[in-house]
Structure 1
Amino acid sequence: MSKSVLNSNSKSRPNGGIAAIATLDVVTASLEKLNGRRQGVPGIGVLYGPSGWGKTFATNSLANESRAYYVQMLSAWRSKDLLAKILAEMGVSHKVTTTSKMLDLVTQQLSASRRTLIIDEFDHAVKSDTLIELVRDIYEGSQGSLLLVGEEMLPRKLEAWERFHNRVYDFAPAQPVSHSDTVKLAPIYCPDVDLHSDVVDKLVTISKGSVRRIVTCLATIHQHAQLYALDQIDVATLTEIDLPANRAPDRRV
């Protein structure tokens, strides 16, 4: 019988339900690097990686712990939208309506608070010269720390704006989900069920690096275990579970 990974034990449950996956460590190191930099060293970091690799999970979790400002961009946003959302996240009430005055408020608060500004889904910004220049203005006006989060090609895309690109101090690659990460995630998304080690290996293989796929698979396994009153899952049992596929299912018509 293959070795079992015990995750039903309460001691294996992460504090606060947050698993210390590898990408979380990458974000922690990047924030420490930005916040501990010497005077005159640029203060922009870029966290990049494929969709589903835990970037949003990690930055959102650490934003709560470190009191960083966290904003997730939307595709329809323009300059005022981004500034308004940042000010709301900062808790700054205002009646100003011009972009320049809103920018002043953002830079003043970021400079005074010395808190990091995290902008997720930053790929939306690289579609617009205006948004790129606005974020550079936020950095220049505050001299604060900014962590920008986006997809795998974000560092390459930023090369189109030299004055922005040369202000990046740290390019931090998100990490693919590992065996160790899956063991840490299991108590959260598949509690009270023991997963055999080769089951964990199988999940890592089919996930193709995606934390999101691992989480979905673990939740599906947990649902199956509850339905059939199982307290452990081996590879044989795993083959009976309809795990989420890595592609859309064919229509059955």
Structure 2
Amino acid sequence: MNASTTPVVQGPVALKNVAAFMAMTTRLIERSHHLPGFGVCHGPSGYGKTYASIFAQNRTKAVRVEVGDSWTRRTLLRNILRECGETVKDKWPISDLSDLAKSVLGENPSRPLIIDEADKLVDKGMIEIVRELQESSGASVILIGEEKLPAKLLTVERMHNRVLHWFPAQPCDLEDTQILARAFAPKVDIKDDLLEAICNRSNGRARRIVVNLDHAAEIARNRNLRALDLKAWTGEFFTGEPPTPRHVEPYSRRAQKVA
């Protein structure tokens, strides 16, 4: 799809997971002081957890970081402080970075801290520093990760009992797929039978649904159609699965006869 036909989507699309994530964020912000301050959003890749968190970030002016594979405690603290608008020196010890982060987050406890890819913090034994930040600052902290994140947190006794809200992200349904179609393929009237097939073949994963919607828009454009249903669909659905191994006959290396 070229630049002239690509739809411009202003921010995350308001799917059910976006609304549920926002509800969890609001509950954490408005909680009583004696209640725990952690929320956990978990689910398979492609369910739209990150986009839901960006929506909440924009609405609440939250501090949001996405943990990288190479991150250390120092990297985590520096990125949190950078997102808070703070400038830190390279040689500051971790203890000073931690104290500053607690102070900055504590200045506005109604501004949440959202940490994406939080599984990596548990895997690296770094989740305790996040617990310290939350308890000292009083700010709400939302951890986002894959489906096994709650089980991983159960192994850290001082963490799992500080979670106020567990939010399992849900796969997209037909209504979500209709919303995505209006956002990403607005020039094509994609019928419900095709949308339902796209949703099912995409396993309810928003990322895969969007790829299939892009293919539907391309089919309609190439065939000059304003509407598209399942009968008019051509090609394969994008499922995210790799191709099956091909059977390739071995090359025969027989010696050539010399005349």
The amino acid across from 2:21 in the alignment is V
Provide the C-alpha distance between the structure 1 equivalents of 2:21 and 2:239, rounded to a whole number of angstroms.
29
3-state DSSP of counterpart to 1:46: strand
RMSD: 1.8
Letter in 2 for 1:29: A
State the alpha-carbon separation in 2 of the partners of residues 14 and 223 from structure 1. Answer: 16
Structure ranking higher in helix proportion: 1
User: Out of 121, 133, 149, which is 2:117 matched to?
Assistant: 121
1:213 to 203, 208, 225: 208
- Once the two structures are TM-superposed, the CA of residue 17 in structure 1 deviates from its matched residue by 4.9
Q: Is 1:48–1:153's contact at 8 Å kept on the other side of the alignment?
A: yes
Q: Of 17, 24, 38, which aligns to 1:30?
A: 24
TM-score w.r.t. length of structure 2: 0.87
Contact kept, 8 Å, 1:203 with 1:214, in 2: the verdict is yes
- Indicate if the aligned counterparts of 1:52 and 1:212 stay in contact, CA closer than 8 A: yes
Over residues 195-219 of structure 1, what are the superposed CA-to-partner deviations in whole Å (9 max), with x where a residue is unaligned? 1111111111111121111111111
Q: Per-residue deviation at 1:165?
A: 1.1
**Which residue number corresponds to residue 93 of structure 1?**
87
CA contact (8 A) 1:49 1:175 kept: yes
- The answer (yes or no) to whether the contact 1:224–1:241 under 8 Å persists in 2 is no
Aligned-pair CA distance for 1:128: 2.0
How far apart are the structure 2 equivalents of 1:35 and 1:62?
Answer: 12
Residue 107 in structure 1 maps to residue 102 in structure 2: yes
Partner in structure 1 of residue 168 of structure 2: 173
> Aligned partners of 2:8 and 2:39: how far apart in 1?
27
Provide the rounded CA distance (Å) in 2 between the counterparts of 1:189 and 1:75. 31
Larger deviation, residues 219-228 vs 161-170: 219-228
Question: 1:44 pairs with 38, 50, 55, which one?
Answer: 38
2 CA distance for matches of 1:68 and 1:169? 18
Q: Which amino acid in the other structure matches residue 116 of structure 1?
A: P
In structure 1, give the amino acid aligned to 2:120.
H
Listed as ranges, the matches of 1:56-75 within 5 Å are 56-75=50-69
TM-score, normalized by length of structure 1?
0.89
Which runs of 5 or more residues in structure 1 are unaligned? 1-12
SS in 2 for 1:16: coil
Identical counterparts, % of pairs: 36
Residues 38-79 of structure 1: CA deviation (Å, up to 9, x unaligned): 111000000011111110011012211221111011111110
Return the alpha-carbon distance in structure 1 between the equivalents of residues 103 and 241 of structure 2.
Answer: 47
Compare relative contact order (CA 8 Å, sep 6+) and give the higher one, 1 or 2. Answer: 1
Q: In 2, are the aligned partners of 1:45 and 1:146 still within 8 Å (CA)?
A: yes
Question: Which ranges of structure 2 fall in alignment gaps of 5 or more residues?
Answer: 1-6, 249-259
SS in 1 for 2:83: helix
